[in-house]
Amino acid sequence: MSEAGQTLWQVLPLGPIGTGNSPYQSFSAFAGDPLFISLEFLVRDGLLDGRDLVEAPQFPACCADYEAVREWKLPLLKKAFRNFSATARCGDGRLFDQFCADHTLWLEDYALFLALRNKFGQDRSWTDWEKDVVRRSPAALARHREQLHNEVECQKFWQFLFYSQWDALRQHCSKRGIRIMGDIPIYVSQDSADVWSHPKQFLLDADGHPTAVSGVPPDYFSETGQLWGNPIYNWEEMARSGFEWWINRFRGTFRLYDALRVDHFRGFEAFWEVPAKEKTAVKGKWVKAPGEKLFREVTAKLGQLEIIAENLGVITPEVEALREKFNFPGMAILQFAFGIEGNAASYRPHNLIRDVVAYTGTHDNDTTLGWWNSSGGDSTRTDEDIKREKEFTLKYLGPGPEPINWKMIRAVQGSVARVVVIPMQDVLGLGNDARMNKPGVGSGNWAWRMLPGAFTTEMQERLREFATLYDRLPAEEEASSQ
C-alpha cells in the first residue's frame, strides 16, 4: 500500500465470528477473533515450538476454510496458554494482568460467555442454557466462573495476544504512513456476550429471546428486503443510563483504529423494526431512534471522533441532517451511479462533494467485474434496465481499451472526494467468485482471500500514478516528486 501511494487501509470488523462466519455477527462488540493470532509470532515469543507448525494442513489458498482453521489452530492456541501458565507467564505476567485490568468492562463477561458456550454446547444459543445462567444469577455465575476458571483465563489470554499483535501491526502501518479505518456494526449478534451480559439494553422477553429484530425494507436490490435478525436496542433504557454502553463501545473500538466507518448510520435516526417471528423483512416498520442525543453524549465524553457514516440506500433528510450536525462524512458508491434509482446521479463523480468517502463498491456489492457481467440476480432491475445502465456507464466513463475496473478506479480517483477507497478485488480485477458478501444470504460469504503476490508491482505503480495524477499522494511525497 505504501509503495502504491496509499494512506488508508479499511478493514472489516475483527470480532470473533459466529453464525455464517460473518464479521457482523460476532460474539462480542469488543473482542478480537483469535483466528487472527499469528502462530509464527508465538514461536518467536517462545510460547510455541517451531515443530508445532510443521504439520500444518494444506489449506485452500483462495478462500478461508474456517472450520479447518479452527480445528488446527485453536488447539495450538490452547497449548500456548498452557506454556504461558506453566512458565510463570513467560515474563509477561504483569502485561497480561494490566491488560485484564484495562479491559475489565467487557473482558470478564466475554471470557465467561465463551467458556459457558463451550460447556453447554457451541450449537446452542445462550437462551437454552441453564435458567439461572440465562438470567445471570450471581451465585450461578460465581459457581461457573470458579469451575471454568482455567478456560476463562485462556479466553482472556487469547484476547491479550490478539490486542498485542494488533498493536504491533498498527504501529508498523503507522511507520509506513498507513492509517487504519475500522468498521463498527450498528447491531450486535443475539448470540453474543453483549446481549447476554446486558439484557436490559435490548428488546428481549423474559427468557432472553428478541421481541423484534433488525433489517431493511424491500428496495431496488431486494424484493423482500434484508432480515438481519439482530435484536433491537432498548433505546429508552440506554438513554436512562446516559448511553454508557455505546460510549464504552466507541471508546473500545477507537482503541483499535484511527478512523471508523459506522455501518447502517441511518438506523441511528430511524430503524426498520421487524416482529421476531417474521421470515422476511417485508412486514416491518420505521421507528425513531435517539441518534442526536446519543452522539451528543459520545462526543461530550470522547471528543470529536473521526467517523464515516454509511448512509447508503433510501436516506431521508433527517438522516442527512443528523450526519451533518456532527460533521460525519457520508459515502458514495460508483456502482450505484448509473442505474434508475432516484439518487443515482448524486453518486456520479462530477456531482460528488469534497467531504465524502467514495468507493467503486463495498463488501456488500459484487466486485466491479461481477457487477458489470451480472444479469441482475435477485434485484428488481429488468433486463432493459441493465442494458440501459451498461450503455450509460460506457458513455460516462469514456471510450478506450482500459478494463472496466480500472475505468471505475480512475473515475473515483479523479473525483473531488476527499477520500477514496478501492476494494482489493477491484484492483486485482476479479469477478463474481471473489465477492465478499451477498446480503440476505446466510452461507457462502466472507471467505475470499487475496493470494500472496497477487498485488503486483504493475498494479502498485498504476495506483501510484493515479494518486500522483489526482493529487492524492501524501503531502511530503507530493512535494518531493515536484
Picking from 438, 441, 440, 436, the residue whose alpha carbon sits closest to that of residue 426 is: 436
Burial class (CB in 10 A: 0-12, 13-18, 19+), 206: exposed
Strands (E), 110-266: 179-184, 212-216, 226-231, 259-262
List beta partners, residue 288.
270
For 153, phi then psi, to 5°, come to -65, -35
What type of residue sits at position 345?
A
Picking from 302, 299, 310, the residue whose alpha carbon sits closest to that of residue 336 is: 310
Helix (H, G, I), strand (E, B) or coil at 162: helix
Angle, CA of 188, 190 and 191, to the nearest 5°: 110
What's the maximum distance between 2 C-alpha atoms anywhere in the chain? 72
CB 267 within 8 A of CB 186: yes
CB 406 within 8 A of CB 398: no
List beta partners, residue 219.
222
Helix (H, G, I), strand (E, B) or coil at 58: coil
> How far apart (Å, rounded) are the C-alpha atoms in residues 126 and 115?
12
> How far apart (Å, rounded) are the C-alpha atoms in residues 272 and 229?
11
> How far apart (Å, rounded) are the C-alpha atoms in residues 399 and 379?
28
> How far apart (Å, rounded) are the C-alpha atoms in residues 427 and 420?
13
What type of residue sits at position 378?
D
Picking from 237, 325, 328, 316, the residue whose alpha carbon sits closest to that of residue 272 is: 316
Picking from 105, 121, 196, 118, the residue whose alpha carbon sits closest to that of residue 155 is: 118
> How far apart (Å, rounded) are the C-alpha atoms in residues 382 and 392?
15
> How far apart (Å, rounded) are the C-alpha atoms in residues 61 and 297?
45
Element (DSSP H or E) covering residue 308:
strand 307-309
Element (DSSP H or E) covering residue 357:
strand 356-359
Residues annotated as catalytic are 263, 310, 364
Burial class (CB in 10 A: 0-12, 13-18, 19+), 412: buried
